[in-house]
Amino acid sequence: MPISGFPEWMPPQRMIEQRVLDRIRSTFELYGFSPLETRSVEPLETLVSKGETSKEVYLLRRLQADENAKDDDSLGLHFDLTVPFARFVVENAGKLQFPFRRYQIQKVWRGERPQEGRYREFLQADIDVVNRGELPFHYDTEMPLVIGDALSGLPIPAIRIQVNNRKVCEGFYRGLGLADTAQVLRTVDKLDKIGPARVAEALIETAGATRAQAEACLELAAISAEDGSFVDAVRKLGVDDPLLDEGLNELLQVVETARENAPGLVVAELKIARGLDYYTGTVYETQLRGYERFGSVSSGGRYDNLAASGNERFPGVGYSIGVSRMLGVLFGQNALSVSRSVPTCVLVALPNEDQRPDCVRIASALRRRGIPTEVAPSAAKFGKQIQYADRRGIPYVWFPGEPDTVKDIRSGDQVEADAAAWLPPAGDLHPVISAG
Amino acid sequence: MPISGFPEWMPPQRMIEQRVLDRIRSTFELYGFSPLETRSVEPLETLVSKGETSKEVYLLRRLQADENAKDDDSLGLHFDLTVPFARFVVENAGKLQFPFRRYQIQKVWRGERPQEGRYREFLQADIDVVNRGELPFHYDTEMPLVIGDALSGLPIPAIRIQVNNRKVCEGFYRGLGLADTAQVLRTVDKLDKIGPARVAEALIETAGATRAQAEACLELAAISAEDGSFVDAVRKLGVDDPLLDEGLNELLQVVETARENAPGLVVAELKIARGLDYYTGTVYETQLRGYERFGSVSSGGRYDNLAASGNERFPGVGYSIGVSRMLGVLFGQNALSVSRSVPTCVLVALPNEDQRPDCVRIASALRRRGIPTEVAPSAAKFGKQIQYADRRGIPYVWFPGEPDTVKDIRSGDQVEADAAAWLPPAGDLHPVISAG
- Tell whether B127 lies on the interface with A, counting CB pairs under 8 A: no
Residue B222 lies in a domain: yes
Residue B5 lies in a domain: no
Last residue of a domain, one of B281, B303, B337: B337
How far B164 CA lies from chain A's nearest CA (Å)? 21
Out of A14, A39, A131, closest to residue B121 by CB: A39
Check residue A39 and report its DSSP letter: -
Last residue of a domain, one of A312, A337, A362: A337
- Mean predicted lDDT score pLDDT of chain A: 94
Name the pLDDT band for A65 (thresholds 50, 70, 90): confident
- Tell whether A371 lies on the interface with B, counting CB pairs under 8 A: yes
- Tell whether B148 lies on the interface with A, counting CB pairs under 8 A: no
pLDDT for A306 = 85
Chain B: residue nearest A18 by CA?
A: B35
What does the alpha-carbon distance between residue A390 and residue A384 come to, in Å, rounded to a whole number?
10
Check residue A290 and report its DSSP letter: T
Shared-domain flag, residues B288 and B357: no
Shared-domain flag, residues A220 and A296: yes
CA-based radius of gyration for chain B? 27
- Tell whether A21 lies on the interface with B, counting CB pairs under 8 A: no
Shared-domain flag, residues B292 and B358: no
pLDDT for B1 = 79
Shared-domain flag, residues B330 and B351: no
How far A288 CA lies from chain B's nearest CA (Å)? 23
Shared-domain flag, residues A120 and A207: yes
Chain A environment of B392 (Cβ under 8 Å): 97
CA geometry: angle at B104 spanning B98 and B110, to 5°?
Answer: 125
Residue B153 lies in a domain: yes
Shared-domain flag, residues B308 and B383: no
Residue B215 lies in a domain: yes
Last residue of a domain, one of B337, B357, B389: B337
- Tell whether A342 lies on the interface with B, counting CB pairs under 8 A: yes
Shared-domain flag, residues B372 and B326: no
Residues of B261-286 as b/e, b for ≥16 C-beta within 10 angstroms? bbeebbbbbbbbbbebbbbbbbbbbb
Cross-chain Cβ contact B372/A111 below 8 Å: no
pLDDT for B66 = 65
pLDDT for A120 = 95
Out of A56, A121, A367, closest to residue B64 by CB: A56
Cross-chain Cβ contact B92/A10 below 8 Å: yes
Out of A65, A88, A372, closest to residue B32 by CB: A372
Shared-domain flag, residues B358 and B239: no
Q: What is the CATH number of the domain that holds B194?
A: 3.30.930.10
Chain A: residue nearest B119 by CA?
A: A39
DSSP of A122-148: EEEEEEEEE-SS---THHHHHHHHHHH
Residue span of the structural domain in which A283 resides: 11-337
User: Over the stretch B386-408, which tens digit does the pLDDT of each residue have?
Assistant: 999 999 999 999 999 999 999 99
CA distances from A175 to A204, A217, A268, B110 (A): 17, 11, 21, 55
Q: What is the CATH number of the domain that holds B391?
A: 3.40.50.800
What does the alpha-carbon distance between residue B285 and residue B273 come to, in Å, rounded to a whole number?
9
Chain A environment of B49 (Cβ under 8 Å): none
Residue B302 lies in a domain: yes
Report the SS3 class of residue A280: coil
Residue B4 lies in a domain: no
* Ranges of chain B whose pLDDT falls below 50: 72
Cross-chain Cβ contact A341/B97 below 8 Å: yes
Out of B111, B342, B377, closest to residue A136 by CB: B377
Residue A11 has pLDDT above 60, yes or no: yes
Shared-domain flag, residues B311 and B372: no
How far A167 CA lies from chain B's nearest CA (Å)? 23
Judge whether B301 and B318 are in contact, CB under 8 Å: yes
How far B329 CA lies from chain A's nearest CA (Å)? 18
Cross-chain Cβ contact A341/B34 below 8 Å: yes
Chain B: residue nearest A95 by CA?
A: B10
- Tell whether A312 lies on the interface with B, counting CB pairs under 8 A: no
**Residues of B (247-276) whose Cβ lies below 8 Å from A:** 257, 260-261
Tell me phi and psi for residue A224, to 5 degrees: -150, 130
- Tell whether A400 lies on the interface with B, counting CB pairs under 8 A: no
- Tell whether B197 lies on the interface with A, counting CB pairs under 8 A: no
Residue B94 lies in a domain: yes
Cross-chain Cβ contact A44/B63 below 8 Å: yes
- Tell whether A71 lies on the interface with B, counting CB pairs under 8 A: yes
Chain A environment of B75 (Cβ under 8 Å): 3
Shared-domain flag, residues A272 and A413: no
- Tell whether A426 lies on the interface with B, counting CB pairs under 8 A: no
Cross-chain Cβ contact A6/B41 below 8 Å: yes
Shared-domain flag, residues A44 and A162: yes
How far B109 CA lies from chain A's nearest CA (Å)? 10
- Tell whether A422 lies on the interface with B, counting CB pairs under 8 A: no
How far B133 CA lies from chain A's nearest CA (Å)? 14
DSSP of A360-398: HHHHHHHHHTT--EEE-SS---HHHHHHHHHHHT--EEE
Chain A: residue nearest B77 by CA?
A: A60
Q: Which of A4, A14, A62 to mutate to test the interface with B (most CBs of B within 10 A)?
A: A62
- Tell whether A38 lies on the interface with B, counting CB pairs under 8 A: yes
Chain A environment of B44 (Cβ under 8 Å): 63
Shared-domain flag, residues A82 and A200: yes
How far B297 CA lies from chain A's nearest CA (Å)? 21
Cross-chain Cβ contact A377/B69 below 8 Å: no
- Tell whether A358 lies on the interface with B, counting CB pairs under 8 A: no
Chain B environment of A21 (Cβ under 8 Å): none
Residue A117 has pLDDT above 70, yes or no: no
- Tell whether B99 lies on the interface with A, counting CB pairs under 8 A: yes
Q: Which of B22, B33, B34 to mutate to test the interface with A (most CBs of A within 10 A)?
A: B34
**Number of independent structural domains in chain A:** 2
pLDDT for B435 = 95
Chain A with chain B: Cβ pairs closer than 8 A: 217
Residue B1 lies in a domain: no
- Tell whether B32 lies on the interface with A, counting CB pairs under 8 A: yes
- Tell whether A133 lies on the interface with B, counting CB pairs under 8 A: no
Cross-chain Cβ contact B39/A6 below 8 Å: yes
pLDDT for A54 = 57
SS (H, E, C) chain B: CCCCCCCCCCHHHHHHHHHHHHHHHHHHHHCCCEECCCCCEEEHHHHHCCCHHHHHCEEEEECCCCCCCCCCCCEEECCCCHHHHHHHHHHCHHHCCCCEEEEEEEEEECCCCHHHCCCCEEEEEEEEEECCCCCCCHHHHHHHHHHHHHCCCCCCCCEEEEEEEHHHHHHHHHHHCCCCHHHHHHHHCCHHHHHHHHHHHHHHHHCCCCHHHHHHHHHHHCCEECCCHHHHHHHCCCCCCHHHHHHHHHHHHHHHHHHHHCCCCEEEECCCCCCCCCCCCEEEEEEECCCHHHCCCEEEEEECCCCEECCEECCEEEEEEEHHHHHHHHHHCCCEEECCCCCCCEEECCCCHHHHHHHHHHHHHHHHCCCCEEECCCCCCHHHHHHHHHHHCCCEEEECCCCCEEEECCCCCEEECCCCCCCCCHHHHCCCEEEC
User: Over the stretch A241-279, which tens digit does the pLDDT of each residue have?
Assistant: 999 999 999 999 999 999 999 999 999 999 998 776 789
Cross-chain Cβ contact A14/B34 below 8 Å: yes
- Tell whether A1 lies on the interface with B, counting CB pairs under 8 A: yes
